[in-house]
Structure 1
Amino acid sequence: MDSRHPEITQRVSQNLTTARDNVTERQIRNWFSEIKDYLVAKNLFEITKCPNRVFNADESAFYLQPKGDKVLTRKGEKNVYRPGNDEKECITVLVTANAEGIMAPPMIVFTYTRVPGYISANIPESWGIENSENGWMCSATFYEYMTNIFEPWLTEQKIARPIVFFVDGHVSHLTLHLSNFCVEKQIELISLFPNSTHLLQPMDVAVFRPLKHAWKLEVQQWRLDNSGHKLQKQHFGKVLEAALKHISEDTIRNGFKVSGLCPFNEHNVKFTKLSKTSLSEENRGGNLAINAKILLSGLEDRIGRERKNSFEMCLLEGNIEWNGPIEEKTLYEIWKSIKLETNERQDDGRNNEEAVVLQPLHSSPPLNLNNEKNTDYESAHPHCTPIKDAISEEVNLQPINSKKEDYLDWEEFFMATAFLAAKRSKDPHTQVGACIVNDDKVIVGVGYNGMPKGCHDDEFPWGKNSDDPLEKKSLYG
C-alpha cells in the first residue's frame, strides 16, 4: 500500500471535538475585530503592545503514572501488560504566564476535602493549593487563585496596571464576584472565542505539549532515583517544579505570538490548523454568495422592461401576493426577494460589495459531475451536452466585482437564481430547477423530481411533464 500511495504518510492525530471542528476563520477574525474595538473604547488597546501586561491562564491534567511509549520485555513475548491500578489518576494544575515569557505561580487542585499537611509541605511556598470535590477547576478555586495568589504576585512583581488577562469562557472563570474583584484591581478579563483554544490559547498552543513531555521525563527520572516506586501525591509538587524549568521564555513568547494575542494581530494565527471541514463549510459549505446588486441588474435585463415595471408596480402597491399571470408568480417572488435584499442593505448603509447568502436547493438531488456516463439521460436527450463537459468540476458562486455586464457569468447567475427561489419559497417542499447555462442556451435543467429537462424550449416545452407547475413557467424560460 505504501508503494502504491507515496502521497500518504503516518502522522499522530490530534483529538478535535465537533464543536472545535465547526469553528471557522471568519468567526475568529470577527472576534479579533470585536475585542479590538472593545479595548480601544476602554483605552486599553495599548496594553497589548506591552508583553508583561498580557496574561493567559489555563488548566491541564497531569497523570501520576504517565504512559511511556514502550516497555522492556523478553523477546518473543506476545502479551505485554503494564501493571498498576492507578495509572489514570491525575491532578489538575492551573498554569499562568504573560507574553514576556514569565510564569506566575501555578495552582494545584487536589481531590481532598482538606489537603493533608504532608502533601502541602512539599509544595513550593509561593504556589497555590486548592481542593474540589472532583479535583477539577471550579469558580471557587479560580477565585481563590486570583485573589490570594495571582493579584499579590502582580503587586510583588511591580507590574503596571491595568493588565489584560485572557481566559477561556468556561463558567469557572467568569463569575460576578471575580468580575467585581478584577474591576477593583484593574485586571481586564477577556474570554477567548468559544471552542478555539487550540488556536488562541497560548498555553494550549505552545506550552502544554512540551510541559507534558518534560513531566513524563521527570517522572521517569524520579522513579529511577527511588527504586522504581510509583509517584505519590506528596511528591507531585517537586516533580512538577522540575518539569516547569524545561519551559523556556521563548516558548511562552512564541505561544502568545502565534495565538495573535501579543502583539494583538489575527494575521499571526495559524488558520491552517482549522480542519478541512470547517474551511470547506466557510468557503462553500452549502452557502453560495453572489453580489446582490449585480444579481438584480442581470435578472431585470433578462426579464425585460415591461415585466420589470409590472413587478415594481405590484411591489409598490403593497400586494403580498403576485396579482399578475400565474406563470410569472415564481419569477416575481425571486425578483422581489433580491430587490428587498438589496434595499435592506442600502438602508443599512452597506456598500454594493456586500453579498447575498444563498442556501442550497432544498432536498434537491446533487448534480452528477463525475465522469460516469448516464446512458438513460443521453438517449433521452441526444442534443444535450453532458454536464461534465458543460461546466467545471465545482460551481463556485463568488461575488462578481466587475460592473461590466459583458463579464457577468450567466452560469452563476441562473444557478444562484434557482437557489434563491428555493430559499425564499413559502412552501418548504417546493424545488426550483437549477439551470446551467453555456453559450447563452440552456444545457440542462435539474427538474423537480430529479429528472433532466430538455435543452430547447421548442423540443421540450414547459408542461410536458405532469409535475411542471404553471407558476414556474417564466422561471424556466
Structure 2
Amino acid sequence: MLRARRPRPPYRAYSQENLVEALNKIQNGGNSVRAISKQYNIPKTTLLDKLSGRRPVYTTQGPKPVMTPEEETRLEKWLLSMSRIGYGQTRRELCLTVKKILDDDGRKNPFKDNMPGPQWVRAFMRRHPKISERAGEALGKERAMLSSSKLEEWFAKFEEFMASDEIIDGEEILSDPRRLFNCDESGFPLAGKAEKVLAPRGTKNVYQFSNSDKHQITVLACMNAAGFYIEPMLIFPNTRFRYNPLDGAPDTWCVGRSGNGWMNSEVFYEWIANHFVPEVQQKKIPFPIVLFIDGHSSHVSYATATFCAENEVILYCLPAHSSHVLQPCDLSLFKSLKSAWKIHTKTWKANHVGQTITKLQFASVFAGAWKSASTVKNAKNGFESAGLFPLDSGRFDRDKLIPSSIFLKSPDSTPQTGTTAVLAAGCSIAEKSTAYETALRVLEESMTEEKVWLFKRRLNEGYDFDTDTFYNAWKKIKLQADGSNTSNIQATGSNTADEIQATTGINTDDVQAATGSNTIDVHHHATTTPSPAAKKRTNVSEALDKHLRYPTAQPGRPQNEKRKPLPHAISGRVFIQYLEDKKREKEIEETRKRVNREKRAAKKAQNEATKKTPSRKRTTEEVDEQREIDENMCAKCKKPYEDDDDNWIGCEFCERWFHKECTDIMDAAELSDTELSELEWQCDHCMEK
C-alpha cells in the first residue's frame, strides 16, 4: 500500500512580529521557553538560538545579496537622486554601474563577467519598493537649464508691466479670469504607434494594419482662466482642398493652411484677426485682455503686434523653454486631449475595420476628443498650476526645475555639480545629507534589533506616541535621512548630535566621529567623502564613491557678444519699436545688396565687352615643335647665332629667328630697325598652319 506524501510544512509558520513579541515576553515576563513556544507556535530551538545570539533575530530567505544592505541603500538613494535631476537610469545602466563596482571591488559573485542579470534587478527592486520603472519624458538641455530664479524674474517683470502707465486697470485685468487667455499648438499624428496585439504563440512576424501617412495635423487651442475655450483651428499641410476639411466638425471651427502643416506668422495673424478677437467680442468679454504665448517665431511678427496693440490685446510672451512649467495648455489640456485622441482613434478603427484615418476623417474624429477634453476643470487647473491665475510665483511646480541644479553657478563663477548643485537650488532630493544617515546608524547601533524593528513598524503603520521622546528623536532623524521630511533641514544646519544626546543619552563622540562635526552642515557633508570612522561603521566599498557619481555641467561655447534681452510684451510700445527698427534695418540691408548686385552685373557686362577672343589651345604637335625650336640658330640655314644683332629678324607668331637674307622680305637689309619693328612678319612655318 502506497503511503501518501505528507505536505511540506511552510518555511515559517509565524510572523516576525510574533517572534519579537515572544522574545520580549521571555526576557521581560519571566515566562518559560516551552510555554511561549506552544503559545506562539514557534519551535523551541528557534527561540533558544535567538536568545543566545547564535542566530540573528531578523533573517531573510534565500541566498545572501551580493551587495551589503548599506551599499544597496546608497545605490537606491543614488538612483532616486539621478531620477529627480533628469538623469534616470535604465535597468541596463544599473547593471553596468554594479558591474563597474564589482570589477573594482573584486568580491566574489555568481554573475558572469560581474554583470548582473534581469533576475538580480527584479530582486533588487523587490527589496527597495521605492524604486519603480517609469517611462521617461525627453528633456532637452535648454529646458534642463531653466531655473526658478528665471521664472520668478519673469513674474516680477510681468507684474511691473501690468502696473505701468502703458496698461489701464492692470490689477483689474489680473483679477478677472475671463480676461486671461493662453494659446498653443500641438501635433496629432494620423498614424498612431503600433501596440501589442494578440497573435499565435511563437509567430515570428506580427503586423498591425495602420496608416502609412506619417503626417500630423497641427491644432491651435486657446482657453481662458475661467474655463472658456476658443474654437480650435486645424492647420492642414495643403494650399488647396478637394474636400471639406471640417467635415463632421462644428461649423464654428476654423481651418489654417500652410505648406508643411505647421504654424507660421501668416496663419497666426489670420487666427488672431479673424477668429480670436471676433469670438472674444461675441462673448462680451471686456477689453483689454491678456494672451499668453510662447516665444516661437510664428507668434512674433510686426503685423500681429500692431494689430493686438490697436485692438487692446496684450500679447505677452512666456519665458523661453518654459512650456512644461508655465504653459496652461501644456499643463492640463493637451495631456487630456492626447489621451482622448488615442481613445477616439481606436474606437473609430474598431467601428471601421480595414480603414485608416486620413485628413478627410480627422476633423470628425478629433471633434469627439476635443469635446471630452475641453472641460472647465482642465482650463482652471492649467492656469492655477502655472501660477497665472491667481497670479502667484510660488505656485508653479519647482520639482520640474531640479535638473537645472546641474548648471547652477556659485558666486565665484565656479559651476556647482552633483548633489551640491541640487542643494544650492533648494530642491527636495533624497540625498541631501549623508550626515543624517550616519547619525541614524549611530543611533540604531545603540538600540536592540527588536527596538529598531518596532520603531520602523510604528512609523510605517502611522501610530505615534507623543510621550516617547526616544522614538520621536529617532523618527525625526529617520525622515530626514530618507528624504521624506527634507523641508525641516535648514541650510545652516542643526545640532543633531546634541539633540540625540539630549533625547536619548547617547554619547555625542560617536556622532562626531562619524560626521566629523558637532553641527551637521547640509551643504558640506553632502559632497565630502565620509570620514574613516564612518567608513568603518558602514560596510560600504570605496568603489561606490568612484562610480556613483553625479553629472557635471559641460562648458559651452564662449559668447563674445551677449544679446540684449527682448521685452516679453509683444504688443507693447518697446517691442513694436524694436520690430520697426528691425524692419528699417532690413530694408536698408536689402537696398545695399541690390545696389551691389547691380554694380556686379554692370562690371560683368563691361568685362564681357572688352574681353579678348581666347587664344586657341595648342595641339600636341605644336607643343613638340615648339620644343624643337632653337633660338640660337637660324631656322632656315641652321647656322649659329652671331654677335651681329642687326642681321637678324624674328617671327611675330613664333620664337624662330632668321637671317635677313634668309627671309622673303624684299630689301630686308636696307630696312631700318623702326621699320622692321612695325612690320608684322610671319615665317613660312606659321603660314602653313
> Normalised by the shorter chain, which TM-score bucket?
0.5 to 0.7
> Is 1:223 the equivalent of 2:223?
no
Aligned to 1:61, the other structure's residue is in SS state strand
CA contact (8 A) 1:127 1:149 kept: no
C-alpha distance in 1 between matches for 2:415 and 2:340: 53
SS at match of 2:360: helix
Question: Pick from 160, 166, 181: which aligns with 1:37?
Answer: 160
Query: What letter corresponds to residue 255 of structure 1 in structure 2?
Result: G
CA separation of 1:121 and 1:246: change in aligned 2, threshold 3 A: closer
Q: Residue type matched to 1:3 in 2?
A: A
Residues 392 and 53 from structure 1, CA distance in 2 versus in 1: closer, same or farther, beyond 3 angstroms? closer
Q: CA deviation at 1:252?
A: 1.4
> Structure 1, residues 339-364: CA drift from partner, whole Å, max 9, x if none?
xxxxxxxxxxxxxxxxxx212399xx
| Offset at residue 86 of structure 1 (A) | 2.2
Separation in 2 of the partners of 1:2 and 1:361? 37
1:185-226 per-position Cα deviation (integer Å, ceiling 9, x unaligned): 111000001000100001101111110110111111112222
Q: Radius of gyration: which is bigger?
A: 2
Letter of the structure 2 residue corresponding to residue 93 of structure 1: V
1:214–1:243: 8 Å Cα contact kept in structure 2? yes
Within-5 A mapping of 1:205-220: 205-220=331-346
**Corresponding residue for 1:272?**
399
The residue that corresponds to 1:346 in the other structure is: none
CA contact (8 A) 2:245 2:255 kept: no
Q: State the Cα distance separating 1:123 from its structure 2 match.
A: 4.3
Which residue number in structure 2 is paired with residue 395 of structure 1?
524
For the Cα contact (< 8 Å) 1:2–1:8, is it kept in 2?
A: no
- Alpha-carbon RMSD across the aligned residues, in angstroms, is 2.9
Does the alignment pair 1:196 with 2:319? no
Residues 56 and 201 of structure 1 are in contact (CA less than 8 Å); yes or no, is this contact kept in structure 2?
yes
SS of aligned partner of 2:372: coil
| Alignment check: 8 A CA contact 2:186 2:220 kept | yes
1:17 aligns with: 140
Do the aligned partners of residues 4 and 133 (structure 1) sit closer, same or farther apart at CA in structure 2, a change above 3 Å counting? same
* Aligned-pair CA distance for 1:249: 1.0
For residues 42-191 of structure 1, what are the structure 2 equivalents within 5 Å?
A: 42=167, 43-67=169-193, 69-84=195-210, 86=212, 88-191=214-317
- Equivalenced residue count is 306
TM-score by length of 1: 0.59
Secondary structure of the 1:268 match is: coil
Q: CA shift at 1:14, angstroms?
A: 1.2
SS of the aligned residue for 1:97 comes to strand
User: Equivalents in 2 of 1:170, 1:113: separation in Å?
Assistant: 22
Q: TM-score, normalised by structure 2?
A: 0.42
2:414 to 330, 351, 360: 360
More displaced stretch, 182-191 vs 107-116 = 107-116
Q: In structure 2, do the counterparts of structure 1 residues 145 and 388 end up closer, same or farther at CA, with 3 Å as the change threshold?
A: same
Tell me, in whole angstroms, the C-alpha distance in 2 between the residues paired with 1:33 and 1:187. Answer: 20
Deviations 1:94-138 (A, max 9, x none): 011111111101111111111333334444321111111111000
Give the secondary structure class of the aligned counterpart of 2:244.
helix
Q: Are the counterparts in 1 of residues 190 and 211 from structure 2 also a CA contact under 8 Å? A: no
Give the conservation status (yes or no) of the 8 Å contact 2:192–2:210. Answer: no
Contact 1:66-1:87 within 8 A present in 2 as well: no
1:4 aligns with 2:127: no
Counterpart Cα distance in 2 of 1:193 and 1:175: 17
**Residue 71 of structure 1: SS of its match in structure 2?**
coil
CA contact (8 A) 2:177 2:224 kept: yes
What is residue 232 of structure 1 aligned with on the other side? 358
CA distance in 2, matches of 1:157, 1:9: 48
**In 1, distance between residues paired with 2:154 and 2:355?**
49
Secondary structure of 1:119's match? Answer: coil
Report the Cα distance in structure 1 between the residues aligned to 2:211 and 2:345, rounded to whole angstroms.
17
Check whether the contact 1:51–1:98 (CA below 8 A) recurs between aligned residues: yes
Instruction: Return the letter of the residue paired with 1:70.
Output: K
Deviation at 1:85, TM superposition (A): 5.7
- Report the Cα distance in structure 2 between the residues aligned to 1:85 and 1:231, rounded to whole angstroms: 7
Map of 1:423 onto structure 2 = none
Which whole-Å deviations, capped at 9, do the CAs of 1:427-469 have from their partners, x for residues lacking one?
xxxxxxxxxxxxxxxxxxxxxxxxxxxxxxxxxxxxxxxxxxx
Q: For residues 521 and 355 of structure 2, what CA distance do their matches in structure 1 show?
A: 66
Deviations 1:47-100 (A, max 9, x none): 122111110000000111222542232233344333446253211010111111
Deviation of 1:286 after TM superposition, in Å, equals 3.9
Distance, in Å, in 1 between the alignment partners of 2:276 and 2:241 is 20
CA distance in 1, matches of 2:329, 2:289: 18
* Cα separation, 2, equivalents of 1:387 and 1:169: 52
Query: Counterparts of 1:271 and 1:139 in 2: how far apart (Å)?
Result: 32
Matched, 1:257 2:384: yes
Deviates more, 1:162-171 or 1:61-70: 61-70
Question: 1:148 and 1:186 mapped to 2: Cα distance?
Answer: 15
Distance 1:286 1:158 in 2: 49
Q: State the Cα deviation string for residues 369-406 of structure 1 (Å, max 9, x = none).
A: x99xxxxxxxxxxxxxx999589684399xxxxxxxxx
- State the one-letter code of the partner of 1:38: F
Where does residue 448 of structure 1 map in the other structure? none
Q: Which runs of 5+ in 2 are unaligned?
A: 1-120, 421-433, 436-512, 527-689
Partner SS, residue 117 of structure 1:
coil
Q: Once the two structures are superposed, what CA deviation does each residue of 1:154-173 show, in whole Å capped at 9, x if it has no partner?
A: 11111111111000011111
CA gap of 1:171–1:162, structure 2 versus 1, over 3 A, is: same
Quick one: distance in 2 between partners of 1:396 and 1:261? 38
Q: Sort the Cα spacing of 1:396 and 1:33 in 2 relative to 1 into closer, same or farther, 3 A.
A: farther
Rounded to whole Å, the distance in 2 between the matches of 1:225 and 1:82 is 16
User: Shift in Å at residue 146 of structure 1?
Assistant: 0.7
Q: Structure 1 CA distance, aligned partners of 2:188 and 2:274? A: 23
Give the deviation of 1:148 after TM superposition. Answer: 0.8
Structure 1 residues 35, 261: CA separation in 2 closer, same or farther (over 3 Å shift)?
Answer: same
Aligned to 1:406: none
User: Contact 2:292–2:316 at 8 Å: present in 1 too?
Assistant: yes
Structure 1 residues 218, 49: closer, same or farther in 2, change over 3 A? Answer: same
Is the alpha carbon distance of 1:25 and 1:396 closer, same or farther for their aligned partners in structure 2, counting shifts above 3 Å? farther
